[in-house]
Structure 1
Amino acid sequence: MMANLFSIFEPSSSIFSLSTNWLSTLLGLMFIPYLYWASPSRWSLMWSKLTQTLHKEFTALLSPSHIGASTMFISLFSLIVFNNFLGLLPYVFTSSSHMAMTLSLSLPLWITLMVFGWFTHTNHMFAHLVPQGTPPVLMPFMVLIETISNIIRPGTLAVRLAANMIAGHLLLTLLGSTGPSLTDSILMILIFSQMLLLTLESAVAIIQSYVFAVLSTLYTGEIS
Protein backbone atom coordinates (compact mmCIF):
# COMPACT_ATOMS: atom_id res chain seq x y z
CA MET A 1 0.00 0.00 0.00
CA MET A 2 1.47 3.31 -1.04
CA ALA A 3 1.60 6.02 1.62
CA ASN A 4 1.60 8.66 -1.07
CA LEU A 5 0.45 8.39 -4.68
CA PHE A 6 3.39 10.49 -5.85
CA SER A 7 5.86 8.11 -4.17
CA ILE A 8 6.11 6.23 -7.51
CA PHE A 9 8.11 9.20 -8.82
CA GLU A 10 10.54 9.35 -5.91
CA PRO A 11 14.05 7.89 -6.26
CA SER A 12 14.24 4.88 -3.97
CA SER A 13 17.15 2.71 -5.15
CA SER A 14 20.54 3.66 -3.82
CA ILE A 15 24.09 2.41 -3.37
CA PHE A 16 26.09 3.91 -0.50
CA SER A 17 23.33 6.51 -0.01
CA LEU A 18 23.64 7.61 -3.65
CA SER A 19 20.48 7.41 -5.74
CA THR A 20 20.82 5.07 -8.71
CA ASN A 21 17.42 5.70 -10.27
CA TRP A 22 18.77 8.51 -12.43
CA LEU A 23 21.02 5.98 -14.15
CA SER A 24 17.91 4.94 -16.09
CA THR A 25 18.49 8.07 -18.19
CA LEU A 26 21.57 6.38 -19.66
CA LEU A 27 19.63 3.25 -20.63
CA GLY A 28 18.42 5.08 -23.74
CA LEU A 29 21.91 4.77 -25.16
CA MET A 30 21.30 1.02 -25.49
CA PHE A 31 18.47 1.66 -27.95
CA ILE A 32 20.47 3.82 -30.34
CA PRO A 33 20.68 1.78 -33.56
CA TYR A 34 24.05 0.65 -34.84
CA LEU A 35 24.14 2.71 -38.02
CA TYR A 36 27.61 1.51 -38.98
CA TRP A 37 26.78 -2.15 -39.41
CA ALA A 38 27.68 -3.66 -42.77
CA SER A 39 24.07 -4.75 -43.16
CA PRO A 40 21.75 -2.19 -41.50
CA SER A 41 18.72 -3.55 -39.68
CA ARG A 42 15.16 -2.42 -40.27
CA TRP A 43 15.28 -0.59 -36.95
CA SER A 44 18.35 1.41 -37.97
CA LEU A 45 16.85 2.20 -41.38
CA MET A 46 13.64 3.39 -39.75
CA TRP A 47 15.56 5.55 -37.29
CA SER A 48 17.66 7.04 -40.11
CA LYS A 49 14.48 7.89 -42.01
CA LEU A 50 13.01 9.51 -38.90
CA THR A 51 16.11 11.61 -38.22
CA GLN A 52 16.26 12.72 -41.85
CA THR A 53 12.63 13.82 -41.70
CA LEU A 54 13.24 15.71 -38.46
CA HIS A 55 16.34 17.33 -39.97
CA LYS A 56 14.35 18.64 -42.93
CA GLU A 57 11.60 19.98 -40.67
CA PHE A 58 13.95 21.62 -38.18
CA THR A 59 16.03 23.11 -40.99
CA ALA A 60 12.90 24.76 -42.40
CA LEU A 61 12.24 26.40 -39.02
CA LEU A 62 15.80 27.62 -38.48
CA SER A 63 17.48 30.58 -40.12
CA PRO A 64 20.32 29.89 -42.60
CA SER A 65 22.92 30.81 -39.98
CA HIS A 66 21.60 28.13 -37.59
CA ILE A 67 21.19 25.19 -39.94
CA GLY A 68 23.71 23.05 -38.07
CA ALA A 69 21.68 23.38 -34.87
CA SER A 70 19.18 20.81 -36.19
CA THR A 71 21.58 18.06 -35.08
CA MET A 72 21.36 19.31 -31.49
CA PHE A 73 17.56 19.32 -31.56
CA ILE A 74 17.43 15.83 -33.08
CA SER A 75 19.66 14.64 -30.24
CA LEU A 76 17.38 16.40 -27.76
CA PHE A 77 14.36 14.67 -29.27
CA SER A 78 16.12 11.29 -29.12
CA LEU A 79 17.08 11.70 -25.46
CA ILE A 80 13.56 12.64 -24.40
CA VAL A 81 11.73 10.03 -26.45
CA PHE A 82 13.99 7.21 -25.24
CA ASN A 83 13.47 8.23 -21.61
CA ASN A 84 9.73 8.61 -22.08
CA PHE A 85 9.43 5.10 -23.49
CA LEU A 86 11.71 3.62 -20.84
CA GLY A 87 9.46 5.14 -18.19
CA LEU A 88 6.58 3.00 -19.46
CA LEU A 89 8.44 -0.17 -18.51
CA PRO A 90 7.81 -1.63 -15.03
CA TYR A 91 10.30 -0.72 -12.31
CA VAL A 92 12.11 1.82 -14.51
CA PHE A 93 12.51 5.31 -13.06
CA THR A 94 10.89 7.96 -15.32
CA SER A 95 13.44 10.77 -15.27
CA SER A 96 11.50 12.86 -17.81
CA SER A 97 8.63 13.23 -15.32
CA HIS A 98 10.83 15.28 -12.99
CA MET A 99 11.36 19.01 -13.24
CA ALA A 100 14.99 18.44 -12.27
CA MET A 101 15.59 16.89 -15.68
CA THR A 102 13.15 18.84 -17.88
CA LEU A 103 14.27 22.19 -16.48
CA SER A 104 17.92 21.21 -16.85
CA LEU A 105 17.20 20.69 -20.57
CA SER A 106 15.18 23.84 -21.22
CA LEU A 107 16.87 26.40 -18.96
CA PRO A 108 20.47 26.14 -20.30
CA LEU A 109 19.12 26.18 -23.86
CA TRP A 110 17.04 29.30 -23.19
CA ILE A 111 19.88 31.09 -21.39
CA THR A 112 22.27 30.31 -24.26
CA LEU A 113 19.80 31.64 -26.83
CA MET A 114 19.15 34.81 -24.84
CA VAL A 115 22.83 35.57 -24.29
CA PHE A 116 23.66 34.92 -27.94
CA GLY A 117 20.66 36.88 -29.22
CA TRP A 118 21.12 39.97 -27.05
CA PHE A 119 24.87 40.19 -27.70
CA THR A 120 24.80 39.57 -31.46
CA HIS A 121 21.32 40.70 -32.59
CA THR A 122 20.42 43.37 -30.05
CA ASN A 123 18.22 45.47 -32.35
CA HIS A 124 16.39 42.39 -33.57
CA MET A 125 15.70 41.25 -30.00
CA PHE A 126 14.34 44.71 -29.11
CA ALA A 127 12.15 44.63 -32.23
CA HIS A 128 10.64 41.32 -31.07
CA LEU A 129 9.29 43.04 -27.97
CA VAL A 130 6.93 45.17 -30.05
CA PRO A 131 5.03 43.27 -32.79
CA GLN A 132 4.66 45.08 -36.10
CA GLY A 133 1.54 47.24 -36.34
CA THR A 134 1.12 47.73 -32.58
CA PRO A 135 -0.54 51.09 -31.73
CA PRO A 136 1.77 53.48 -29.82
CA VAL A 137 -0.57 53.50 -26.83
CA LEU A 138 -0.25 49.71 -26.41
CA MET A 139 3.51 49.52 -26.90
CA PRO A 140 4.45 49.64 -23.17
CA PHE A 141 1.96 46.86 -22.43
CA MET A 142 3.18 44.76 -25.36
CA VAL A 143 6.78 45.10 -24.18
CA LEU A 144 5.75 43.91 -20.72
CA ILE A 145 3.70 41.00 -22.09
CA GLU A 146 6.41 39.89 -24.53
CA THR A 147 9.07 40.12 -21.83
CA ILE A 148 7.06 37.97 -19.42
CA SER A 149 6.22 35.42 -22.13
CA ASN A 150 9.91 35.23 -23.04
CA ILE A 151 11.02 34.74 -19.44
CA ILE A 152 8.57 31.91 -18.71
CA ARG A 153 9.49 29.93 -21.83
CA PRO A 154 11.92 27.51 -20.14
CA GLY A 155 9.39 26.93 -17.36
CA THR A 156 6.55 26.18 -19.75
CA LEU A 157 8.74 23.77 -21.72
CA ALA A 158 9.76 21.94 -18.56
CA VAL A 159 6.28 21.87 -16.98
CA ARG A 160 4.60 20.72 -20.21
CA LEU A 161 6.84 17.68 -20.54
CA ALA A 162 6.88 16.72 -16.85
CA ALA A 163 3.14 17.24 -16.33
CA ASN A 164 2.15 15.14 -19.32
CA MET A 165 4.37 12.27 -18.24
CA ILE A 166 3.20 12.45 -14.62
CA ALA A 167 -0.50 12.56 -15.56
CA GLY A 168 -0.39 9.35 -17.58
CA HIS A 169 1.68 7.47 -15.02
CA LEU A 170 -0.61 8.55 -12.19
CA LEU A 171 -3.68 7.37 -14.08
CA LEU A 172 -2.09 4.00 -14.83
CA THR A 173 -1.07 3.63 -11.17
CA LEU A 174 -4.51 4.62 -9.87
CA LEU A 175 -6.30 2.11 -12.06
CA GLY A 176 -3.74 -0.61 -11.44
CA SER A 177 -3.96 -0.26 -7.65
CA THR A 178 -7.69 -1.13 -7.75
CA GLY A 179 -7.06 -4.49 -9.46
CA PRO A 180 -6.82 -6.77 -6.36
CA SER A 181 -10.26 -5.66 -5.11
CA LEU A 182 -12.14 -6.22 -8.40
CA THR A 183 -14.06 -9.22 -9.66
CA ASP A 184 -12.80 -11.25 -12.60
CA SER A 185 -15.17 -9.68 -15.14
CA ILE A 186 -14.36 -6.13 -14.12
CA LEU A 187 -10.68 -7.04 -13.92
CA MET A 188 -10.69 -7.97 -17.61
CA ILE A 189 -12.18 -4.58 -18.43
CA LEU A 190 -9.49 -2.94 -16.30
CA ILE A 191 -6.70 -4.82 -18.10
CA PHE A 192 -8.14 -3.81 -21.48
CA SER A 193 -8.38 -0.16 -20.38
CA GLN A 194 -4.80 -0.31 -19.12
CA MET A 195 -3.66 -1.57 -22.51
CA LEU A 196 -5.47 1.33 -24.20
CA LEU A 197 -3.93 3.80 -21.77
CA LEU A 198 -0.49 2.33 -22.37
CA THR A 199 -0.99 2.82 -26.11
CA LEU A 200 -2.05 6.41 -25.46
CA GLU A 201 0.98 6.98 -23.26
CA SER A 202 3.23 5.67 -26.04
CA ALA A 203 1.76 8.29 -28.37
CA VAL A 204 2.16 10.97 -25.70
CA ALA A 205 5.81 9.98 -25.24
CA ILE A 206 6.50 10.67 -28.92
CA ILE A 207 4.32 13.79 -29.17
CA GLN A 208 5.77 15.49 -26.11
CA SER A 209 9.34 14.80 -27.29
CA TYR A 210 8.47 16.26 -30.67
CA VAL A 211 6.77 19.32 -29.14
CA PHE A 212 9.75 20.01 -26.87
CA ALA A 213 12.19 19.82 -29.79
CA VAL A 214 10.01 21.87 -32.18
CA LEU A 215 9.40 24.66 -29.66
CA SER A 216 13.11 24.80 -28.89
CA THR A 217 13.76 25.09 -32.63
CA LEU A 218 11.20 27.88 -32.98
CA TYR A 219 12.77 29.81 -30.11
CA THR A 220 16.14 29.46 -31.79
CA GLY A 221 14.75 30.72 -35.10
CA GLU A 222 13.47 33.90 -33.45
CA ILE A 223 16.84 35.24 -32.35
CA SER A 224 18.14 36.07 -35.84
Structure 2
Amino acid sequence: MPNSVIALIVDIVKSRELSDRVGAQRSIREAFAQAHGTRPMHRPLWPTVGDEFQAVFHTLGDALLTTSLVRLLLPEGVDCRFGLGRGITADVDELAPGAIQDGTAWWNAREAIEETHHREHGTDPYLRSWFVSDEAKAAGEASLVNGFLLLRDASISAMSPRARRLTAGVLLGVSQTELARREKITQSAVSQSLRRSGGSALLAAHQELEKGMLR
Protein backbone atom coordinates (compact mmCIF):
# COMPACT_ATOMS: atom_id res chain seq x y z
CA MET A 1 0.00 0.00 0.00
CA PRO A 2 1.45 3.42 -0.96
CA ASN A 3 2.65 5.66 1.85
CA SER A 4 0.46 8.66 2.59
CA VAL A 5 1.70 12.14 1.73
CA ILE A 6 0.43 15.69 2.21
CA ALA A 7 -0.97 17.34 -0.92
CA LEU A 8 -1.18 21.12 -0.92
CA ILE A 9 -3.43 23.36 -3.00
CA VAL A 10 -2.62 27.08 -2.94
CA ASP A 11 -4.62 29.99 -4.28
CA ILE A 12 -4.21 33.75 -4.08
CA VAL A 13 -6.46 35.82 -1.82
CA LYS A 14 -8.41 38.47 -3.81
CA SER A 15 -6.34 37.77 -6.90
CA ARG A 16 -8.70 39.68 -9.20
CA GLU A 17 -8.11 42.85 -7.20
CA LEU A 18 -4.32 42.75 -7.62
CA SER A 19 -2.83 45.26 -10.04
CA ASP A 20 0.13 42.94 -10.79
CA ARG A 21 -1.01 39.33 -10.78
CA VAL A 22 2.15 38.13 -12.55
CA GLY A 23 4.29 39.79 -9.88
CA ALA A 24 2.15 38.23 -7.13
CA GLN A 25 2.58 34.76 -8.61
CA ARG A 26 6.32 35.34 -8.89
CA SER A 27 6.51 36.36 -5.22
CA ILE A 28 4.67 33.18 -4.22
CA ARG A 29 7.09 31.00 -6.17
CA GLU A 30 10.03 32.85 -4.60
CA ALA A 31 8.61 32.40 -1.08
CA PHE A 32 8.15 28.67 -1.64
CA ALA A 33 11.68 28.41 -3.05
CA GLN A 34 13.09 30.08 0.07
CA ALA A 35 11.06 27.79 2.36
CA HIS A 36 12.12 24.79 0.26
CA GLY A 37 15.70 25.47 1.30
CA THR A 38 14.84 24.44 4.88
CA ARG A 39 12.24 21.74 4.27
CA PRO A 40 12.43 19.40 1.25
CA MET A 41 9.23 18.78 -0.67
CA HIS A 42 8.15 15.49 -2.22
CA ARG A 43 7.20 17.51 -5.31
CA PRO A 44 8.10 21.23 -5.40
CA LEU A 45 5.47 23.87 -6.14
CA TRP A 46 4.07 24.03 -9.66
CA PRO A 47 1.38 26.26 -11.22
CA THR A 48 -1.86 24.70 -12.44
CA VAL A 49 -4.69 26.90 -13.74
CA GLY A 50 -5.37 30.59 -13.11
CA ASP A 51 -4.04 31.66 -9.72
CA GLU A 52 -3.65 28.14 -8.28
CA PHE A 53 -0.52 26.18 -7.36
CA GLN A 54 0.08 22.67 -6.03
CA ALA A 55 2.84 20.85 -4.13
CA VAL A 56 3.35 17.57 -2.27
CA PHE A 57 5.11 17.09 1.10
CA HIS A 58 6.54 14.01 2.79
CA THR A 59 5.23 15.03 6.24
CA LEU A 60 2.58 17.23 7.77
CA GLY A 61 5.22 19.02 9.84
CA ASP A 62 7.03 20.05 6.65
CA ALA A 63 3.78 21.31 5.10
CA LEU A 64 2.84 23.34 8.18
CA LEU A 65 6.23 25.00 8.53
CA THR A 66 6.41 25.78 4.81
CA THR A 67 2.98 27.38 4.72
CA SER A 68 3.81 29.45 7.80
CA LEU A 69 7.00 30.65 6.14
CA VAL A 70 5.29 31.47 2.85
CA ARG A 71 2.69 33.71 4.49
CA LEU A 72 5.43 35.45 6.49
CA LEU A 73 7.72 35.91 3.46
CA LEU A 74 5.13 37.26 1.03
CA PRO A 75 5.25 41.01 0.32
CA GLU A 76 2.63 43.29 1.80
CA GLY A 77 -0.61 43.10 -0.16
CA VAL A 78 -0.13 39.47 -1.32
CA ASP A 79 -1.63 36.56 0.63
CA CYS A 80 -2.50 32.90 0.02
CA ARG A 81 -4.93 30.22 1.10
CA PHE A 82 -3.79 26.65 1.72
CA GLY A 83 -5.71 23.40 1.52
CA LEU A 84 -3.75 20.49 3.04
CA GLY A 85 -4.85 16.91 2.45
CA ARG A 86 -3.42 13.66 3.78
CA GLY A 87 -3.77 10.61 1.56
CA ILE A 88 -2.19 8.95 -1.45
CA THR A 89 -1.39 10.32 -4.90
CA ALA A 90 -1.03 8.60 -8.25
CA ASP A 91 -0.04 9.79 -11.71
CA VAL A 92 -2.99 9.69 -14.10
CA ASP A 93 -0.96 9.95 -17.30
CA GLU A 94 2.79 9.45 -17.05
CA LEU A 95 3.22 10.48 -20.70
CA ALA A 96 1.59 13.90 -20.28
CA PRO A 97 3.93 16.93 -20.61
CA GLY A 98 3.14 17.89 -17.01
CA ALA A 99 2.37 15.26 -14.38
CA ILE A 100 -1.37 14.91 -13.83
CA GLN A 101 -2.25 13.41 -10.47
CA ASP A 102 -5.28 12.02 -8.69
CA GLY A 103 -5.84 10.33 -5.35
CA THR A 104 -7.26 10.84 -1.89
CA ALA A 105 -4.61 13.39 -0.92
CA TRP A 106 -5.86 15.71 -3.69
CA TRP A 107 -9.53 15.12 -2.88
CA ASN A 108 -8.83 16.03 0.74
CA ALA A 109 -6.75 19.08 -0.20
CA ARG A 110 -9.60 20.33 -2.40
CA GLU A 111 -12.09 19.82 0.43
CA ALA A 112 -9.73 21.66 2.77
CA ILE A 113 -9.32 24.75 0.60
CA GLU A 114 -13.08 24.89 0.03
CA GLU A 115 -13.55 24.79 3.81
CA THR A 116 -11.00 27.60 4.14
CA HIS A 117 -13.01 29.74 1.70
CA HIS A 118 -16.23 28.98 3.59
CA ARG A 119 -14.82 29.86 7.00
CA GLU A 120 -12.92 32.90 5.73
CA HIS A 121 -16.18 34.39 4.45
CA GLY A 122 -18.04 33.36 7.60
CA THR A 123 -16.90 33.45 11.20
CA ASP A 124 -13.11 33.29 10.67
CA PRO A 125 -12.08 36.11 8.27
CA TYR A 126 -8.41 35.75 9.25
CA LEU A 127 -8.27 32.01 8.39
CA ARG A 128 -6.12 30.99 5.41
CA SER A 129 -5.57 27.25 5.94
CA TRP A 130 -7.33 23.95 6.67
CA PHE A 131 -6.37 20.28 6.92
CA VAL A 132 -8.39 17.19 5.93
CA SER A 133 -7.48 13.51 6.24
CA ASP A 134 -9.50 10.40 5.42
CA GLU A 135 -7.49 8.20 7.77
CA ALA A 136 -9.64 7.15 10.72
CA LYS A 137 -6.68 7.28 13.09
CA ALA A 138 -6.05 10.90 12.05
CA ALA A 139 -9.39 12.28 13.28
CA GLY A 140 -7.80 13.61 16.46
CA GLU A 141 -4.78 14.80 14.51
CA ALA A 142 -6.97 16.85 12.15
CA SER A 143 -8.72 18.58 15.06
CA LEU A 144 -5.39 19.38 16.69
CA VAL A 145 -3.86 20.69 13.46
CA ASN A 146 -6.87 22.82 12.56
CA GLY A 147 -6.88 24.32 16.05
CA PHE A 148 -3.23 25.24 15.47
CA LEU A 149 -4.06 26.70 12.04
CA LEU A 150 -6.83 28.89 13.45
CA LEU A 151 -4.43 30.40 15.99
CA ARG A 152 -1.48 30.56 13.57
CA ASP A 153 -3.41 32.38 10.86
CA ALA A 154 -4.95 34.84 13.31
CA SER A 155 -1.47 35.61 14.66
CA ILE A 156 0.15 36.10 11.24
CA SER A 157 -2.76 38.17 9.93
CA ALA A 158 -2.31 40.59 12.84
CA MET A 159 1.47 41.02 12.37
CA SER A 160 3.12 44.14 10.98
CA PRO A 161 5.46 43.73 7.96
CA ARG A 162 8.53 43.94 10.23
CA ALA A 163 7.10 41.40 12.68
CA ARG A 164 6.52 39.02 9.77
CA ARG A 165 10.10 39.44 8.57
CA LEU A 166 11.49 38.80 12.03
CA THR A 167 9.27 35.76 12.59
CA ALA A 168 10.23 34.33 9.21
CA GLY A 169 13.86 34.85 10.16
CA VAL A 170 13.67 32.89 13.40
CA LEU A 171 11.71 30.08 11.69
CA LEU A 172 14.50 29.93 9.09
CA GLY A 173 17.09 29.69 11.86
CA VAL A 174 18.54 33.19 11.55
CA SER A 175 20.01 34.55 14.80
CA GLN A 176 18.43 37.53 16.53
CA THR A 177 21.75 39.34 16.22
CA GLU A 178 21.69 38.96 12.43
CA LEU A 179 18.02 39.97 12.27
CA ALA A 180 18.83 43.10 14.27
CA ARG A 181 21.59 43.96 11.80
CA ARG A 182 19.26 43.52 8.83
CA GLU A 183 16.53 45.67 10.37
CA LYS A 184 18.99 48.24 11.79
CA ILE A 185 17.59 47.83 15.31
CA THR A 186 18.94 46.36 18.54
CA GLN A 187 18.83 42.68 19.43
CA SER A 188 16.66 43.63 22.40
CA ALA A 189 14.15 45.26 20.01
CA VAL A 190 14.05 42.06 17.95
CA SER A 191 13.35 39.99 21.06
CA GLN A 192 10.60 42.37 22.22
CA SER A 193 8.97 42.39 18.76
CA LEU A 194 8.93 38.59 18.62
CA ARG A 195 7.28 38.38 22.05
CA ARG A 196 4.66 41.07 21.31
CA SER A 197 3.75 39.83 17.83
CA GLY A 198 3.49 36.16 18.76
CA GLY A 199 6.49 35.22 16.62
CA SER A 200 8.24 33.49 19.53
CA ALA A 201 5.05 31.60 20.36
CA LEU A 202 4.69 30.49 16.73
CA LEU A 203 8.25 29.14 16.73
CA ALA A 204 7.61 27.27 20.00
CA ALA A 205 4.31 25.87 18.65
CA HIS A 206 6.02 24.45 15.56
CA GLN A 207 8.72 22.89 17.73
CA GLU A 208 6.13 21.24 19.99
CA LEU A 209 4.03 19.95 17.08
CA GLU A 210 7.03 18.28 15.51
CA LYS A 211 8.04 16.25 18.55
CA GLY A 212 7.22 12.93 16.91
CA MET A 213 3.60 13.74 16.01
CA LEU A 214 3.42 15.15 12.50
CA ARG A 215 4.76 12.47 10.21
Q: Normalized against structure 2, the TM-score is what?
A: 0.35
More helix by share: 1
Q: Which has the higher contact order (CA 8 A, sep 6+)?
A: 1
More strand by share: 2
Larger C-alpha radius of gyration, 1 or 2?
1
